[in-house]
Amino acid sequence: MTTLARIAPGETGAEEDGPTRRCLVANSVRPVEELLRFVVAPTGEIVPDLAHRLPGRGLWLTARRDIVAQAVEKRVFARAAKAPVRVEAGLEDRVEVLLARRCVEILGLARRAGLVVAGFVKVKAALVGGKVAILVAALDGAEDGRSKLGAQAAGLPSVSCLSARELGAALGREQAVHVGLRPGRLSDLFLAEARRLVGFRAGARVNVSER
């Protein structure tokens, strides 16, 4: 789960040799961290492969709701696979659910690794002490609290892509509004996944405040 850019066997071509791929809709080459990988299952169904681990040739799209919708509408998957495929209705909604679940799971791993600080007072103290690498706030949290902590987080990524209930699920509690992530691989992975989720969830954002 912690190997975001792992590429499945069987993928070939000049662009397949590096950490970039071409979006089938936008026709632009982007880092794999900014893309979504899909594969054709043995049943012919298009399956999202968010961890980049499933076997088979990858079909890559920019991580945006409108791009996935266009791929479905214009039958891009079938043309790229050169075979009939089945695409479930509401694929973009399914991708959002999977991306959110992945963010929650990574946060849970980060908590168990001792990389998480939760609660307004604790996060503020960690920010003052320079122990926070990423500031996370619930999408449905009060703007006042986010602004106060944001003022302490100059130059740090600020993420708001999960609800208070989703953050709570990651941390083993009913709800969480303010979370700080200490430096670490899992924190970096969470940031990368949050950036992908932003392309699908209304109101979600990843910002870096100026120093």
Fold of 14-88: Hypothetical Cytosolic Protein; Chain: A; (3.30.1230)
pLDDT at 172 over 80: yes
Q: How confident is the model at residue 8 (pLDDT cuts 50, 70, 90)?
A: very low
Average pLDDT, the chain: 90
Residue ranges covered by each domain of the chain = 14-88, 94-208
Per-residue pLDDT, averaged over 57-86, amounts to 96
Per-residue pLDDT, averaged over 118-136, amounts to 96
pLDDT for res 153: 85
Q: How confident is the model at residue 151 (pLDDT cuts 50, 70, 90)?
A: confident
Q: How confident is the model at residue 143 (pLDDT cuts 50, 70, 90)?
A: confident
Q: What six digits make up the tokens of 19?
A: 């950490």
Q: How far apart are CA 53 and CA 123, in angstroms?
A: 34
For the domain made up of 94-208, the CATH class stated in words is alpha beta
Q: How far apart are CA 67 and CA 45, in angstroms?
A: 19
pLDDT for res 209: 62
The strand pairing partners of 159, in sequence order, are 136, 206
Within 13 Å, how many C-alpha atoms sit on residue 127's CB side? 25
pLDDT digits (tens, 9 = 90+) for 193-202: 999 999 999 9
CA distances from 177 to 3, 8, 64, 116, 211 (A): 28, 36, 25, 13, 24
pLDDT for res 144: 84
Q: How far apart are CA 35 and CA 109, in angstroms?
A: 23
pLDDT for res 210: 55
The strand pairing partners of 134, in sequence order, are 181
pLDDT for res 84: 94
pLDDT for res 112: 97
Q: Where are the beta strands (DSSP E) in the chain?
A: 20-22, 29-31, 35-40, 46-48, 59-62, 116-118, 134-137, 157-160, 178-181, 205-208
